[in-house]
Amino acid sequence: MEFIDPELLAYCEAHTSSEDPILQKITRETQAKVLMPRMLSGPLQGKILELLVKMHRPKTILEIGTYTGYSAICLAKGLGENGRLITLDINDELEDRVRGFFKESGLSEKIDYRLGNALDLIPQLEGEFDFVFIDADKENYLAYYELVIDRVPPGGIILADNVLWSGKVLPKGRKKLDKDTEAILKFNQFVQEDPRVENSLIPIRDGIMMARKL
Write down the pLDDT at residue 155: 98
pLDDT at 128: 98
Position 5 scores a pLDDT of 85
* pLDDT value for 192: 98
| Sequence-distant (≥ 6) Cβ neighbours of residue 50 within 8 angstroms | 74, 75, 77, 78
Cross-strand pairs, 199: 211
pLDDT at 54: 98
pLDDT of residue 173: 87
Is residue 1's pLDDT more than 80? Answer: no
pLDDT value at residue 135: 98
Question: How far, in Å, CA of 44 to CA of 19, rounded?
Answer: 9
The rounded Cα 18 to chain-centroid distance in angstroms is 19
In this structure, are strands 208-213 and 131-134 parallel, antiparallel, or unpaired? unpaired
For 166-203, write each residue's pLDDT tens digit.
Answer: 999 999 989 889 999 999 999 999 999 999 999 999 99
Instruction: Give the three-state DSSP class for 177.
Output: coil
Percent of the chain past pLDDT 70, that is, above it, reads 99
Per-residue pLDDT tens over the stretch 77-100: 999 999 999 999 999 999 999 999
DSSP H or E stretch at residue 23: helix 21-33
Residue 3 has pLDDT above 90, yes or no: no
d(CA 169, CA 154): 29
Distance CA 194, CA 176 (A): 27
Q: Domains of the chain by range and CATH? A: 6-213 (3.40.50.150)
3-class SS of residue 200: strand
Alpha carbon distance 152, 146 (integer Å): 11
What pTM, to 2 d.p., does this model score?
Answer: 0.97
Amino acid, single-letter form, for residue 52: L
Over range 110-136, report the average pLDDT: 98
pLDDT for the residue numbered 2: 64
Mean pLDDT of 53-82: 98
Percent of the chain with pLDDT over 90: 92
Confidence of residue 4 (pLDDT cuts 50, 70, 90): confident
Inter-residue contact 88 to 63 (CB < 8 Å): yes
Q: What is the pLDDT of residue 66?
A: 98
pLDDT of residue 49: 98
- Counted residue by residue, the chain has a size of 214
